[in-house]
Amino acid sequence: MTTPDILRDFERVPPHIVQQAGAYQAAILADVAGRRGALHGRITALRPSMKVVGTAFTVEVRPGDNLMIHAAMSLARPGDVLVVDGKGDQTAALMGTIMMTACQKLGIAGVVIDGAVRDSLELEEMGFPVFSVGTNPNGPTKLVPGRIGHPICIGGVTVNPGDLVLGDADGVVIVERHKIESLLPLAEKKVKDEAARIAAIQQGDTAAKWLDAALRAAGVLKEGERL
């Protein structure tokens, strides 16, 4: 049996878990997830103040064509983040003010796109979170089929529909749907530990106590030698 190009139904991270995850920085979630899940640094917030958290609604398009993004907008639920595999193409914008305004009106939480967008100043004024590889004034075509609701690879990371998406000034991290709830206590602990360490540094305790052992393990220092 052939799998359809459009998969409409899939399990999502529950809204209360999305809300809890949204309290953390992308860096915190990436660390507690094993320093993995962060998209390639080419995919960045259109403006540093932008932050997004929600569930992944995956879209695959051919370079320069946004037909399937329009279809995805019609199917996405409030709280979804459109995560678009645009093949890293920067020769044409796949989305702009008109589409983003519709997304905002539909309750879509934001857009993460491995491709270009346009109308960047208007998007900034809207306050709608957009993460992309850059901008280009060229418009797209609307001719080529793609897929919706399938696993995609974007920025070197596999994204399954329903996964947790969180993006901020540092970039975007994806956490598997079935893992995110178990990581939240670790994220809370990491935030507290980092705050305590920063407070200690501010009081003059600047030494990295782990450093000598790490240097010996790396062969930089001999056994018993110290910096």
Q: Hunting for tokens 């797209």 — which residue is that?
A: 140
- pLDDT tens over the chain, length 227 residues: 678 999 999 999 999 999 999 999 999 999 999 999 999 999 999 999 999 999 999 999 999 999 999 999 999 999 999 999 999 999 999 999 999 999 999 999 999 999 999 999 999 999 999 999 999 999 999 999 999 999 999 999 999 999 999 999 999 999 999 999 999 999 999 999 999 999 999 999 999 999 999 999 999 989 888 88
Cβ count within 10 A of residue 77: 13
Which tokens in the block code for residue 133?
A: 């590889």
- Quickly list DSSP for the chain: -PPPSB--------HHHHHHHTTS-HHHHHHHTTS--BPPTTSEESSTT--EEEEEEEEE--TTB-HHHHHHHHHPPTTEEEEEEEEEEEEEEEE-HHHHHHHHHHT--EEEEEEEE--HHHHHHHT--EEESEE-SPPPB-----EESS-EEETTEEE-TT-EEEEETTEEEEE-TTTHHHHHHHHHHHHHHHHHHHHHHHTT----TTHHHHHHHTTSS-TT---
Query: How far, in Å, CA of 77 to CA of 206, rounded?
Result: 48
- What local confidence, expressed as pLDDT, does residue 172 receive? 98
Which tokens in the block code for residue 159?
A: 């994204």
CA-based nearest residue to 103, from 126, 127, 80, 73: 73
Which tokens in the block code for residue 13?
A: 């991270």
